[in-house]
């Protein structure tokens, strides 16, 4: 599997993923354009054999930690380990940049995402009430990565 960096010309495909991935709290086109152009962001892309963008993750690197801001996998490709592979690439990238931990927020009733995060070693450290809207609470999760060694189960290569 090759995870590549997403670029500005991927914006339309990213917006299609965003629309299919979230019922509420969708990011705007301007927000994603900012992610794709920001110097402190790493937007990783997973493409199918035909080159179609089927998943994307964005990571902000700040001082000694990474902030995983968004992970979106096309609905028809969920459950195939793609999100996990993007997470592994994000972890490795953060670790290579000197990060000692990764933080993220996830909707507390998103069982599939919580399962993946917990299997990778993330643990809940806080809860944010109404973070995604009224009655939609978030868990803040953390993964210490300073001395960990990760093996994604299949090779992950990050291409430029």
CATH architecture, range 2-153: 3-Layer(aba) Sandwich (3.40)
| Structure confidence at residue 147 (pLDDT) | 57
| Structure confidence at residue 25 (pLDDT) | 82
Higher pLDDT, 150 or 139: 139
Mean pLDDT of 76-83: 92
**Residue 88 banded pLDDT, cuts 50, 70, 90:** very high
| Structure confidence at residue 124 (pLDDT) | 97
* Strand-strand pairing, 2-5 and 157-159: parallel
Mean pLDDT of 121-146: 93
For residue 157, pLDDT over 70 is answered with: no
Helix (H) or strand (E) holding 143: strand 138-144
For residue 129, pLDDT over 70 is answered with: yes
Burial class (CB in 10 A: 0-12, 13-18, 19+), 79: exposed
Domain spans, the chain: 2-153
Q: What is the pTM of this model?
A: 0.85
**Residue 159 banded pLDDT, cuts 50, 70, 90:** low
- Nearest Cα neighbor of 46 from 93, 20, 99, 10 is 10
Mean pLDDT of 74-90: 92
């Amino acid at each position: 599997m090759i995870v590549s960096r997403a670029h500005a010309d991927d914006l339309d495909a990213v917006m299609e993923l965003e629309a299919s991935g979230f019922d509420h709290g969708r990011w705007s086109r301007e927000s994603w354009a900012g992610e794709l152009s920001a110097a402190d962001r790493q937007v990783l892309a997973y493409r199918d054999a035909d080159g179609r963008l089927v998943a994307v993750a964005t990571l902000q690197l700040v001082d000694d930690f990474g902030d995983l801001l968004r992970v979106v996998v096309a609905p028809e490709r969920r459950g195939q380990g793609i999100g996990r592979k993007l997470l592994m690439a994000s972890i490795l990238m953060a670790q290579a940049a000197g990060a000692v931990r990764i933080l993220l927020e996830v909707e507390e009733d998103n069982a599939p995402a919580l399962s993946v995060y917990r299997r990778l070693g993330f643990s809940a450290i806080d809860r944010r009430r109404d973070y995604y809207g009224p009655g939609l609470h978030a868990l803040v999760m953390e993964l210490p990565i300073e001395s960990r060694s990760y093996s994604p189960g299949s090779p992950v290569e990050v291409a430029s």
